[in-house]
Amino acid sequence: MRLIARLDVKNEHVIKGIHLEGLRKVGDPNRMAEDYYRQNIDEIVFMDAVASLYDRNNLFHIIERACESVFVPITIGGGLRSLADIEQALNAGADKIAINTAAIRNPKFITEAARTYGSQCIVASIEAKRSAAGWEAYVDNGREKTGIDVLDWARQLEDLGCGEILITSVDQEGTKKGFDVELIAAANTTVGVPIIASGGLGGLAHIDALVDKTEPSAIATASLLHYGIHSVSEIRGQMAGQGLGTGR
């Protein structure tokens, strides 16, 4: 199982909130990325937290700087809505592209992107909130409803050609109360592409609770690392204790 550091960025700063709201600055994205790389993180995800406000991604220069000292796969997400955007992101040094809003608005964009750049490059991002019927997909940092069922959408994204799916539980995000295990387990049994679990990791026991019910391809964490609750090596140790392959 891969361990991924997630850095949500707003105006040159890594930010963190609860339920993707109430954001506060926690550090410099390039310094934090280099620190996590030196701790042997497997991958890093940079998400533009305010891309919807400007209708574009503003992280390309940050990715360019990161690639000077960080040598693990980098994913960039937020505001990427055309093949030209993807091309610019890849030219900046990104290895993968996370797509949420653009896929909701034009599902064929996933197929077009996967055919052009390869499915291994395309990460479908889903912001999920619990609903009476299960989970609903959201956009705009968990603020805008889509009326789309998360599991149905995950199936469609797989059929469209994405290489993996990043599922963020908006309900759990930033709470440090643990993953939405039911959500990740349901997604894992619904699709065959790798699942990245994001949202809620606040302690090592939460890893145990997750892998007791399901085993995603990767877990993404922010608070646990950003606030120094646990180091990469401590998280790896917990994963290794569960028999999960780790390390790069």
Contact status, residue 186 vs residue 222, Cβ threshold 8 Å: no
Q: Specify the 3-state DSSP secondary structure of 133.
A: coil
Q: What are phi and psi of 148, to 5 degrees?
A: -100, 130
Q: Which two tokens stand for residue 232?
A: 């990469």
Q: Which two tokens stand for residue 181?
A: 């295990």
Q: Which two tokens stand for residue 218?
A: 């990767």
d(CA 79, CA 84): 12
The helix (run of H) or strand (run of E) holding residue 154 is helix 150-160
Q: Which two tokens stand for residue 40?
A: 């042997």
CA distances from 83 to 29, 110, 228 (A): 25, 10, 37
Q: Specify the 3-state DSSP secondary structure of 103.
A: helix
Contact status, residue 176 vs residue 203, Cβ threshold 8 Å: yes
* Helix axes 181-190 and 150-160, enclosed angle (nearest 10): 40
* Residue positions annotated with a catalytic role: 8, 127
d(CA 203, CA 219): 13
DSSP 8-state secondary structure symbol assigned to residue 13? E
